Amino acid sequence: MPKNLIVFDFDWSFVDQDTDRWVFEVLSTKLRRALQDRKSNGSQCTPDVVDQTMADLFDAGFKKEQVLDALRILPFHPAMRRAVTALKDRGETDFLCLSNSNEVYIGTILEHHNLTNLFAEVITNPAHWAGDRLHIGRRLPADGPQHTCKVGCLANMCKGDELDAWLAAHGGKDAYEKIVYVGDGGNDFCPLLRMRKGDVACVRKNMELHGRIKEEGEKEGIKVDVKLWDQAWVIDE
């Protein structure tokens, strides 16, 4: 039976928030501002910046369970859950998560919503607890081999390379009749360039990925069919 593959970014794609920012917004306005200031001082919201602010959260006395509770109340639309569980139950679709969040954040949210077995794999940044301190690392360590992406992926991960590697390990692109990518961010642009004519990009309207496709898509030779969405019920539809 022919199968399809749906690749999800996580923040503002699978869920209706940014996991990195959400934890600080729930627990500490002061540290949410610190994260924003660090990002504004030349840093994108990389794992290094999030880890630095997580150290501040620990120093301020916040506990592991408070972080986990914040993740459990992060907005996740019922229509998105309905969409993915219906497709999963039909058995014709594989799911892959490709995210710049981290293992603890994503794992906690999926477990809370009983979706631990949804994704064949979650490709993201590593994270682990040391007592009440959450340590967040990089998918590509700073002291190891680096990717050579030229279209603007973050230093810690090239999503295009990650998608190519996953497909190569699972029968190649031809193993799937159609590949669908659901994303919103600028670093979701690269994997779209690796996809075929007839594949589909479900792009969240008026977010960074939408802008990049309008400004750079034709020049970079994007082949996928682009479908815009703004709310999860549109994805379900």
Q: Which residues are catalytic?
A: 9, 11
The secondary structure of 11-25 as a DSSP string is TTTTSSS-HHHHHHH
Percentages of the chain per state (helix, strand, coil), in multiples of 5: 45, 20, 35
Q: How far apart are CA 86 and CA 199, in angstroms?
A: 20
DSSP-derived secondary structure letter, 96? E
The binding site consists of 9, 11, 184
Q: Output the known binding site for Mg(2+).
A: 9, 11, 184
User: Which of 150, 144, 151, 114 is closest to 126 using CA atoms?
Assistant: 144
